[in-house]
Structure 1
Amino acid sequence: MRYEDRLLRVLTYVHDNPDGDLSLDRLAEVAAMSRFHWHRVFHAMTGETCAQVVRRMRLHRAAGRLVREETSVDEIAQDCGYPNPRSFVQAFRASYGVTPMAFRQAGRLDAPALLQRRGGLKMHPVEIRDNPARRVIGLPHTGAYMLIGEKFETAAAMIGSRDLWEKCGPMIGVYYDDADAVAVDDLRSFAGAEWRGDDIPEGFDSVEIKGGRTAVMTYKGPYATLKSGYDALYGGWLPTSGETPADAPCYEVYLNDPRDTPPEDLLTDLCMPLA
């Protein structure tokens, strides 16, 4: 079995079993390698330990549910692999800087922009740029946008295992559907990285992003709260801009690395192609 296949199998297992046994022993078993050697291989190929990946994935999934659901914090903690509520609060605060309840209260996404209190719609800088055309290699995703992380992890692992990062630009996500108008199970998106090489590497799909005038909002904050950026872009900036969106999907360009950046410091360009 190729080491890339072992890595992808483990990443899939982690995302499919957030509340399951994700111990190093179990993940080594999934990889069909000894515990000692698997830990070294995983860290060398991804730049993170197994424990770091598991914690980041679990907390990201919890953060998304906190701002999108009414489910109790304790139930979300249980579903995301934290049977002890206190340990969940401690882990969440260490990563996100606030308690789960405070994060929920600050990031609620259930009010339309026009119905939010005056001053409650947090604005971020928006500028019109002449963005370049881009080719993106990666993997398609169908289903909830909050679960696209598995495809990003998989695409990044494939790029890293083949030593292709020198031919890649930033990670990019393309989102084809409106999450408020399309059933969750039918949402279409694409996770990958800008490709600056020639032929598309085996095992990757590709999409083309046309260049041209683009409204770009640089959003600072956790990926779980990106929807508030879109609310501000569509409900705050666009109606007063005099601009018309092009018949093309929005896409996101991720400007720093969630592996070594606190969630509150993550920077994402939300890109809306203009007519």
Structure 2
Amino acid sequence: MTEAYEIRLRRVVQHIFDHPAGDLSLDALAEVAALSRFHFHRVYHAMTGETAAQAVRRIRAHRAAHWLLRTDWPLAQVAAAAGYDNAQSFARAFRGQFGLTPAAFRKSGRDTPPALTLRTGVPLMFPVTIAERPALRLAALPHRGAYHEIGKAFQQVCAVFSARQLWDQARGTVGVYYDSPQSVAEPDLRADAGIAVPEGFDLPSDLHETRLPGGRYAVMTVKGPYAQFPQAWDQLYCNWLPCSGSEPADSPPYEFYLNDPTDTAPAELLTEICVPLK
């Protein structure tokens, strides 16, 4: 029976990501889950730790944040794509999640003041250190397509861990990115959304194992919304790496997420971008 509820929960999460501008009312989501509207909200909250309404607000705001920084769409178009009836309701809801109006967020994301300057004079958004990182074993799901859409794969993995009460064995949340967006067409980009787990962990049948080697890594610690990640990655590879005297190793880079976007303000999110070094 738990597995049946898990499947329904994952179907709802996928629906929210795929249809941010659609009908995401409690009744509509209950229908997607094939559960009575009298019980759906209790089941969803019990299994995920947030209400369905909170999930809808969070996912819509985070998708809007990516569009604000990655497109030149007018604010009204971003609002409509994210499922808001008008610019006023969009601005109010977005500010509730990000602490800034959509216009201010777009400006701040494109005009970020440098936190660190290289000897070349090229600004880095965030500091980079070289550190020894342990090997990681992940329980993961694959993601294919735009990297900023990987959240829906993460939601699916988290649904499995919540439904089966596996969080006591989780050791962190990790996104593995195999391709460069500059050289691979967006629909063909490959990634894994995973939870780090110990060696003795018995992987659920619908998750696969991904292993990341330990060793020396360049680690950029990013504070703030996920929407700024493309800029951070570009600066790590284009500005820091050529000046570092280091060469990347033959294994994929990854992001290690240090806190949870379901209970952390976007401005306070902490993420480590980790690039393996020879």
- TM-score, scaled relative to structure 1: 0.93
Question: Which residue number corresponds to residue 249 of structure 1?
Answer: 252
In structure 1, distance between residues paired with 2:21 and 2:132: 44
Tell me which amino acid in the other structure corresponds to 1:81.
G
* Counterparts in 2 of 1:122 and 1:95: CA distance versus 1, 3 Å: farther
1:126 Cα offset (Å): 1.4
Aligned pair in 2 of structure 1 residues 123, 15: CA closer, same or farther (>3 Å)?
Answer: closer
Q: Post-superposition shift, 1:235?
A: 2.4
Gaps spanning 5+ residues in structure 1: where? 110-117
Match of 1:80 in 2: 82
Report if the CA contact (8 A) 1:170-1:254 is conserved: yes
Contact 2:124 2:239 in 1 (8 A): no
Q: Name the SS for the 1:53 alignment partner.
A: helix
Show the counterpart of 1:227.
230
Once the two structures are superposed, residues 41-61 of structure 1 have per-residue CA deviations (whole angstroms, 9 ceiling, x without a partner) of: 100100000011001111111
The answer for the alignment partner of 1:214 in structure 2 is 217
Contact 1:68 1:108 in 2 (8 A): no
Report the Cα offset of residue 120 of structure 1: 7.7
Alignment check: 8 A CA contact 1:77 1:85 kept: yes
Equivalents in 2 of 1:88, 1:119: separation in Å? Answer: 38
The Cα offsets for residues 65-108 of structure 1, whole Å up to 9 and x where unpaired, read as 11111111110110110021100011111211111112112223
CA 1:120–1:81 in 2, change beyond 3 Å: closer, same or farther?
A: farther
> What's the Cα RMSD here?
1.5
- 2:24 touches 2:56 (CA, 8 Å); kept in 1? yes
| AA at the equivalent of 2:176 | V
**Helix, strand or coil at the partner of 1:169:** coil
How many Å separate the matches in 1 of 2:159 and 2:133? 27
Aligned partner of 1:150: which letter?
K
The alpha-carbon distance between structure 1 residues 119 and 72, as it changes in their structure 2 partners (threshold 3 A), is farther
Question: Are the aligned partners of 2:122 and 2:239 in contact in 1 as well (CA < 8 Å)?
Answer: no
Shifted more, 59-68 versus 124-133: the winner is 124-133
Q: How does 1:156-235 map to 2 (within 5 A)?
A: 156-196=158-198, 197-235=200-238
Is residue 141–residue 157 contact of structure 2 (8 Å, CA) maintained in 1?
yes
Q: Which residue of 1 aligns with 2:273?
A: 270
How far apart in 2 are the matches of 1:201 and 1:141? 18
Q: Map 1:140-159 to 2 at 5 A.
A: 140-159=142-161
Provide the C-alpha distance between the structure 1 equivalents of 2:201 and 2:89, rounded to a whole number of angstroms. Answer: 48
Which residue of structure 2 aligns with residue 100 of structure 1? 102
SS of aligned partner of 2:210: strand
User: For residues 122 and 105 of structure 1, do their structure 2 counterparts lie closer, same or farther at Cα, with a shift above 3 Å needed?
Assistant: farther
1:233 shift after superposition: 1.2
**CA offsets per residue over residues 99-118 of structure 1, 9 Å max, x none?**
11121122239xxxxxxxx9
Cα distance, 1:35–1:120 mapped onto 2, change above 3 Å? farther
Whether the aligned pair in 1 keeps the contact of 2:44 and 2:50 (CA below 8 Å) is: yes
SS of the residue 2:206 aligns to: coil
Q: Distance in 1 between matches of 2:5 and 2:195?
A: 21
Q: CA deviation at 1:200?
A: 2.1
Q: Distance in 2 between matches of 1:30 and 1:235?
A: 44
Task: Using the TM superposition, give the Cα deviation of residue 119 of structure 1 relative to its aligned residue in structure 2, in angstroms.
Answer: 7.2
For residues 147 and 36 of structure 2, the distance between their equivalents in structure 1, rounded to whole angstroms, comes to 34
Displacement of 1:239: 1.8
Number of residue pairs matched?
A: 267
Task: Indicate the residue corresponding to 2:114 in structure 1.
Answer: none
